[in-house]
């Protein structure tokens, strides 16, 4: 058993930023980085909206530097997954395989995963036409034709964001009406010159020329009719899954399994005031995409990681 002051679980922008701040505060944080360290940006190529890089930066390069920066100040990284936690008493217990760690504070930065379509070709072209983040990638598709998949607010918002850049958008939805709010629906349906909606349809294949996406094949669920849409981009907006399965029953989660803090649920939190990133358990903090269903950006995740580290530091001082 190893006992430390702060344990950080997860190693995306939120985890590394939390580690940097906790390390500079002399808390010698232990980062259980997961077997797939670096988080979602490891899946992408060019990141153009992380401040400080005027020519952009490759996602994996950014994550490697973030890790080195936190290590330089004393953060200890272990590339292990956390399987379970016991937050019922202090010190807080975190278990990875056979190894048990104890910490006075724990910071949860386990992120989220975009739900993929799971169709042939999709995973081959991530970052080369296939995107899960319109805010991040829309400017790469100037005057191009793209396909968007989904029917909720995210898909409709992504489509609207893309209309500013792209030549034409095919919005694919498997039902005959959207789940998105009426006002957003009206906005997207009003863009008739740019947006065509293919109802009751699903994407069945993504095709490319090895370098980029060249077409997206769509099937009508009712008629069975198949069409190949020439397109350079596929934006998948069918939802996110926060990596919080192992936290069930340990901290309060919302109905979609996001960790509740008073940042994402400012009303009605009865737990300790003055610690915006604290979860329902004293001493357990959270930040990044496992909390954030709204912004989902690397820089906002890093910012929340920093907030969680500062809150943990203040909380530890008060112990
Ligand atoms: C393809 C793609 C491109 C993107 N492009 C951009 C962009 O250009 N600009 C931008 O701002 N944002 C972009 N995003 C979004 C951005 O990557 C996320 O908002 C950001 O990474 C969230 O950071 P995070 O630290 O909260 O979580 P994540 O990056 O999801 O990292 C969480 C980490 O925790 C680990 N973990 C999970 N569970 C456990 C466990 N039980 N034990 C140990 N470790 C665990 C995971 O393996 C992962 O390494 C992109 C996302 C994707 C998928």
Q: 179 or 226: which carries more pLDDT confidence?
A: 226
* Choice among 133, 158, 289, 311 that is catalytic: 133
Mean predicted confidence (pLDDT) in 228-235: 98
- DSSP conformational letter for 132: S
Higher pLDDT, 147 or 45: 147
> Is residue 129 within 6 Å of ligand 1 at its C-beta?
no
User: With bands split at pLDDT 50, 70 and 90, how would you rate the model's confidence at 153?
Assistant: confident
pLDDT at residue 271, as a whole number = 73
With the most atoms of ligand 1 within 8 angstroms of its CB, the residue from 38, 114, 133, 302 to mutate is 133
Q: What is the model's pLDDT at position 71?
A: 98
Known active-site residue 136: yes
List CB contacts of 228: < 8 A, sequence separation 6 or more. Answer: 207, 215, 216, 217, 218
pLDDT band at 272 (very low <50, low <70, confident <90, very high): confident
* Binding site membership of 12 for ligand 1 (Cβ less than 6 Å): yes
**Residue 16's pLDDT is what?**
98
* Average pLDDT of the chain, as a whole number: 95
Average confidence (pLDDT) over 161-169: 96
Mean pLDDT, range 156-177, rounded to an integer: 95
| Alpha-carbon span 9 to 81, nearest angstrom | 8
- Residues facing 202 on adjacent strands: 219
Is the whole model's pTM more than 0.95, yes or no? no
141 lines ligand 1 (CB under 6 A): no
Residues in the chain: 319
Q: Is the model's pLDDT at 206 over the cut of 90?
A: yes
Question: Residue 184 pLDDT more than 90?
Answer: no
Q: Does the pLDDT at position 270 exceed 90?
A: no
The C-alpha atoms of residue 258 and residue 33 are separated, in whole angstroms, by: 19
Residue 133 bears catalytic tag? yes
Q: Which of 137, 158, 289, 311 is catalytic?
A: 137
101 has pLDDT over 80: yes
- 233 within 8 A of 122, measured Cβ to Cβ: no
Give the mean model confidence (pLDDT) for residues 43-62: 93
Ordered by where they begin, the domains of the chain are 2-113+240-318 (3.50.50.60), 116-236 (3.50.50.60)
Nearest to 21 by CA among 10, 29, 9: 29
Task: Tell me what the mean pLDDT of segment 39-54 comes to.
Answer: 92
């Amino acid at each position: 058993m190893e006992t430390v002051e702060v344990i950080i679980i997860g190693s995306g922008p939120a985890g590394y930023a939390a580690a940097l701040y906790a390390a500079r505060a002399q808390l010698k944080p232990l980062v259980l980085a997961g077997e797939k360290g670096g988080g979602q940006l490891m899946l992408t190529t060019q990141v153009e909206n992380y401040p400080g890089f005027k020519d952009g930066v490759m996602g994996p390069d950014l994550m490697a530097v973030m890790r080195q920066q936190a290590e330089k100040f004393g953060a200890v990284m272990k590339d292990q997954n956390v399987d379970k936690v016991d937050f019922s008493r202090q010190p807080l217990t975190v278990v990875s395989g056979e190894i048990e760690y104890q910490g006075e504070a724990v910071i949860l930065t386990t992120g989220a995963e975009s739900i993929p379509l799971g169709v042939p070709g999709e995973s081959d072209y991530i970052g080369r036409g296939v995107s899960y983040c319109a805010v991040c990638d829309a400017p790469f598709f100037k005057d191009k034709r793209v396909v968007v998949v989904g029917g909720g607010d995210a898909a409709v918002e992504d489509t609207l964001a893309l209309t500013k850049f792209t030549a034409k958008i095919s919005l694919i939805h498997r039902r005959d009406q959207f789940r998105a709010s009426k006002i957003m629906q009206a906005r997207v349906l009003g863009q008739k010159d740019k947006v065509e909606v293919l109802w009751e349809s699903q994407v069945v294949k993504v095709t490319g020329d090895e370098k980029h996406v060249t077409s997206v094949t769509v099937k009508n669920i009712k008629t069975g009719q198949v069409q190949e849409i020439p397109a350079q981009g596929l934006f998948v907006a069918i939802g996110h899954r926060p990596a919080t399965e192992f936290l069930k029953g340990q901290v309060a989660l919302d109905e979609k399994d996001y960790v509740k803090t008073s940042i994402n649920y400012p009303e009605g939190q009865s737990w300790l005031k003055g610690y915006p990133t604290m979860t329902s358990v004293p001493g357990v903090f959270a930040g990044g995409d496992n909390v954030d269903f709204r912004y989902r950006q690397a820089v906002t995740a890093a910012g929340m990681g920093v907030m969680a580290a500062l809150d943990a530091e203040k909380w530890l001082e008060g112990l």
